[in-house]
Structure 1
Amino acid sequence: MNREEFNKTTELTKNNKDYSRQAILSYVICSLLLIVNLYMVVALCIYEYRVNHKNKKNKRLIRTRQFGLVKDISANRMRHLCLTSCIFILPRLVCEFIEIKYGQDLDVICAVIRPIKVILQTVQLSCLYCVLWLRQRKLYTSEVMKPLVNKCTGFLSWAIIGIMISAAVVGVALYIFAVRFTSSNQGCIVGWSLVWKAAPGLMLIVTTITLQIILLGLLILPIYKHRRAMKGIGNPNKKDILLIRRVTIAAVVAVLTDLFCGLMTITLLIQSLSVLTHIFFDIDMIVSLFCVICSFKDWRMRLYPRLTKSTQVAGTVRRMRPGLGSNETENHRVDETAM
């Protein structure tokens, strides 16, 4: 064996050892994330069952007393979207295990599994952003908030859903049409690309952070205006400031996690540590889901069902208040179902 062949063999052995270490670490992280995700799926399913059970009881009681029914459709959709988002993380993590095991050997695995992972991630994040979008729309359409919303903010409140869809389509298209992944001794790597190889991941990071900040602003702005108006007439509502504080803390944690995981992903990609790159996206997905759930008032009931009684869960079917329409709330208070 000549010196050149010896050097190639030595380098290949070193790369295989590096990959093995990365693979073991990736297996451990993915296993922990899978356990956390499975727990969240079970917890949210229990919460879903409890809410449905409470709704059935409320329907029977309200009909017996001959009151009108009000169903909070937005609250139902937000709850379903959170559960859907959580469920979509499961196949993404399964794909991670497949890529770790076969990413060194099979080009077809890399070519297929990476786009599938991106699609699953896009659907998962889109569900979360739809939750945030529905919350701010619920506030903007309430009778108490309409006078406090200007035309520009009201337009952005609607237009942001189009921005979300466009960003999702462009992001997925970049991974499917502009980049091809192949196997290597370092796992799945970019074989060829029409753009800078870090561009798709960088776009995903920038889009995620931008959307979080815009949706946070759209949610907090009307509540802040409402609170100032109520303070001026001597009728402040402490629940408003609690909502602002809770949502802001959750959003800041999510944005900081986006930044950290994004920077780590780009750094690892540049250093060709391909096995670990998408693991940080998985961490970011679970943290983002956790933050969105924690921004709700009843987050403990959603995440820790064993620590709360089923009777404490609020249903989304209620008695219609006398003199109010089905979509109206009291004139002096922000709609509490968005909290």
Structure 2
Amino acid sequence: MTSHASERPRARNLGLPFPGKAGPFNAITDVAGIEVGYSTVVSDSSISGRGPARTGVTTILPRGRTGPLRAPVWAGFHSLNGNGEMTGTHWIKEAGYFTGPIGITNTHSLGTVHQSILQWMIRRPDTGVEPYKFMLPVVGETCDAYLNDMDAFHVTSAHVTEALDTAASGFLAEGNVGGGTGMICFEFKGGTGTSSRVIELLGASYTVGCLVQANFGIRPLLKILGVPVGEHLTDNRLWAGEQGSIIAVVATDAPLMPTQLERLARRAGLGIGRTGTPSGDGSGDLCLAFSTANLTMSESAAAPAVGDLAFLPNNRLDILFEATAQAVEEAIINALVAAEPMVGRENRSVAAIDHDAVKAVMRNYRRLKA
């Protein structure tokens, strides 16, 4: 079982001056009710002659384990580049919502995680919520095949259950944890990262939180707060061409319509772009946004003939757009800063980003105090 508390420094601990006001956890869990769980799978023993495990699964429960699990969550989806998979998005595009937990894992374990979430949900009947005839879990993936033997199917139903049963609020571990365990970002060790922003809008306070599984980018393109850090940190290169993927999940307690949440998901793409990637052909860059507001318990025949939906005006959403881009950008850098070096299959080694080297570059560009 993986601790949910982060033991590594975060980007702000290095003095990086990210804009915006973060929540108390600076995590997606700053949105009330959201819980995150991990199962990290690291082993050097082979399965059926296959290679080592450097993988895992991350789960996000929009309403927590004790909340109405099957209550719809309004959502929007955006594909910045579609060389990847996120299940359930056709229904999100059609109906504007999803139900149940979100899972994030490696490419070849997507089916296992999808089925295991269904099994977990079936074992936990919701009181007060109309039973659904079917469920379409949202599960996203990125490829960890450089360090992990994906063909060994190391992630099992037990790991998914662990990630769901241990999901909690509060501070979150980052880097080599959960689905991000074997991921690589800008040719450094990458993985799981999170951040949040608190904004004031029309007399109310709202939170935008983000969690990413960062597995994309090539070194020369890496930018941190606009500084071309990757041009200066040239050691331990891995490849020449853009590859990999990122899953970005954005959550908010602001009342938004599904069309507005799709707009928020697009702004997650801007946060990804701020780190320097052009979202290359081989990268699956998939963005999901959801709101915990407008709780609807049932679509049964007993439901009101006309429902009410609260939402903010479109022409006042700019501050939410900026908060989303800021949170996604910082979450990616948090994943880089928190990650530790890793040796995986075939003794392949991936270095972690050097904190002192990053600070030195940022000072040279006058983005960090001496």
Higher Rg: 1
TM-score normalised per structure 1:
0.25
Task: Specify which structure has the higher proportion of helix.
Answer: 1
